[in-house]
Amino acid sequence: MDKPVKGFILLSNHRANNLRKLDSAVSWGINHIELSHYQLCHFLKDMRDSICRSDVNFLANEAVKRGIKEIFVWDHAFYEMDYYPDRFKVPADSSAVFFHHTQRFAGGMEMQLNLDDPGFWNWVYNDYDSLLALVPDINGIVLTFIETGSYVIYQHSLKATTPEEKIAMLVDSLAEYFVDRKGLQLTIRTFIYNRFEKDGMVKALSLIKHKNIRVMIKMVPHDWFLTYPYEDYVADILFPVVIEYDGGMEYCGENIIANSFPRYFDDGFNYYHQFPNVVGFCARTDRYGETSAMYSR
């Protein structure tokens, strides 16, 4: 699990551009591809959409043809509350404090998923069985558990009573499924918006028992702004770490030309190279449609 990761993240379903990226990936020694976001696979449940499924399977197959060994798709856990059967829900605790930065839960919740119900996890695993069968060429999952439809820290559990314990429960439960049962690789993707969240995330990561995973963090906290500082808690993560770079410049100009900030990324590479637990990078290559950090249109 600690072998060097040299990765591209493809967001767009523009096949011609993506094939050019895969060709370049081979010549540049890229060994890891992630298919992500709304045009490809933001959630594994997107694979029930025939267009997303066709694009993902096309690109996964093309990556296999080129000898790329790691082909990951993204997922977010948990999905919106109405995705799950009512029998796995309990009335929400009216005393719960909702402080998440998106304010999605600021108005409170009526129901919570019951994380202590083994039947709930069995239902989740069976659902994933049906989804993974639709993408036979992928061999890894990138799991985000922040900014999700039903954020795990706001669900019910008497076994895991703190937000950090609930995050660890989620990761361990899904790692047991993806890694141990299905033989897939698992990367958990996390990011922070403030120091309060940083302290909580470091603690949550320390509570995870399953060790055969990677952690992917953004090059900078919050979202992609050129003036933001680098992450200062990398050394506190007790897992192999992959740094996520945004060559598509989501918040600093969507790229339709070769990226204009090479020194910005070079400085980031040099900073993170000093940490022995950093095992590689994964760089976003576009921002949907015909955008590209690598080529003009």
Supply 231's token pair: 């992450």
d(CA 287, CA 37): 10
CA–CA distance, 42 with 73 (Å, rounded to integer):
8
pLDDT of 297 reads 44
Non-local (6+) Cβ contacts of 267 within 8 A are none
Q: Provide the mean pLDDT of the chain.
A: 91
Q: What is the pLDDT of residues 261-278, one digit of tens each?
A: 788 889 999 999 999 999
pLDDT-based confidence at residue 196 (cuts at 50, 70, 90): confident
Q: Is residue 100 within 8 Å of residue 151, measured between CB atoms?
A: yes
The reply to whether 297 falls in a domain is no
Q: Could you read off the pLDDT of 79-100 as tens digits, one per residue?
A: 999 999 999 999 998 776 666 5
The reply to whether 209 falls in a domain is yes
Percent of the chain topping pLDDT 90: 74
Residue pair 30/7 in contact by the 8 Å Cβ criterion:
yes
**CA–CA distances in Å: residue 165 to residues 8, 160, 187, 208, 209:** 32, 5, 19, 8, 11
Residue 6: predicted pLDDT: 96
Residue 182 within any structural domain of the chain: yes
Q: Is residue 296 situated within a structural domain?
A: no
**pLDDT score, position 102:** 58
Domain count, the chain: 1
The reply to whether 212 falls in a domain is yes
Query: Which of 294, 223, 219, 220 lies closest to 259 in space, CA to CA?
Result: 294
User: Quick check: 217 and 256 in contact, CB under 8 A?
Assistant: no
10 — pLDDT class (breaks 50, 70, 90): very high
Q: Averaged over 137-153, what is the pLDDT? A: 94
Which residue type occupies 216?
M
Q: Which of 36-50, 218-232, 244-258 has the lowest mean pLDDT?
A: 244-258
Is there a domain that residue 259 lies in?
yes
User: For residues 50 and 260, which has the higher predicted lDDT (pLDDT)?
Assistant: 50
pLDDT at residue number 296: 45
Q: Is 291 a member of any domain?
A: no
171 or 247, greater pLDDT: 171
Question: Is residue 255 pLDDT above 80, yes or no?
Answer: no
pLDDT in tens, 107-142: 678 899 999 999 999 999 999 999 999 999 999 999
Q: Are 94 and 108 within 8 A, CB to CB?
A: yes
Q: How confident is the model at residue 209 (pLDDT cuts 50, 70, 90)?
A: very high
Separation CA 42–CA 37 (nearest Å): 4
Cβ(216)–Cβ(242) under 8 Å?
Answer: yes
Show the domain range for 24. 5-284
CATH number, domain at 212? 3.20.20.80
Q: Is residue 9 part of a domain?
A: yes
